[in-house]
A = this chain, B = another copy of it.
Amino acid sequence: MIKIFNPDQSKWAEICQRPAKDAAEIEKICYPIFKEVKNTGDIAVRKYSQKFDGLTVTDFELASDLMENAADEVPAQLKSAIQRAYDNIYAFHRAQSSEKLELETTKGVLCWQEKRPIDKVGLYIPGGTAPLFSTVLMLAIPAVIAGCREIILCTPPGKDGNVPASILYTAQLCGIKRVFRVGGIQAIAAMTFGTESIPKVFKIFGPGNQYVTGAKQLSTRYNTAIDMPAGPSELLVMADSTANPAFVASDLLSQAEHGIDSQVIMVTTDEEMIDLVEAEVTEQVKLLPRKNIAEQSIANSKLIYLADKEKAAEFINQYGPEHYILCSSDEEYFLRELRNAGSVFVGPYTPESAGDYASGTNHTLPTQGYAKQYSGVNLDSFLKSITFQRISDSGLRNIGPAIEVMAEAEGLMGHKNAVSIRLDQLNINKRK
Interface residues of A (CB under 8 A from B): 23, 77-78, 80-82, 84-85, 87-88, 91-92, 95-96, 98, 101, 103, 105-106, 109, 111, 113, 116-119, 129-134, 166, 202-203, 217, 220-221, 223-225, 229, 244, 246-247, 250-251, 253-258, 284, 287-290, 294, 317, 335, 338-362, 368-376, 378, 380, 384-393, 395-396, 399, 401-403, 405-407, 409-419, 421-422, 425-426
Contact = CB atoms under 8 A, between A and B. Distances in A.
Main secondary structure of the interface of A (DSSP, over half): mixed
6 contacts: A80-B402, A92-B105, A253-B414, A256-B414, A375-B385, A376-B387
A360 B111 contact: yes
Contacts of A339: 116-117, 119
Given A343-B386, A385-B378, A387-B376, A415 B356 contact: yes
A119 to B, nearest CB: 6
A255 B417 CA distance: 11
A257 B415 contact: yes
A403 to B, nearest CB: 5
Contact of A390 (B113, B118, B244, B346): B346
A357 to B, nearest CB: 5
A368 to B, nearest CB: 7
A140 to B, nearest CB: 15
A22 to B, nearest CB: 11
A414 B78 contact: no
Contact of A294 (B246, B411, B414): B414
Contact of A421 (B247, B361, B388): B247
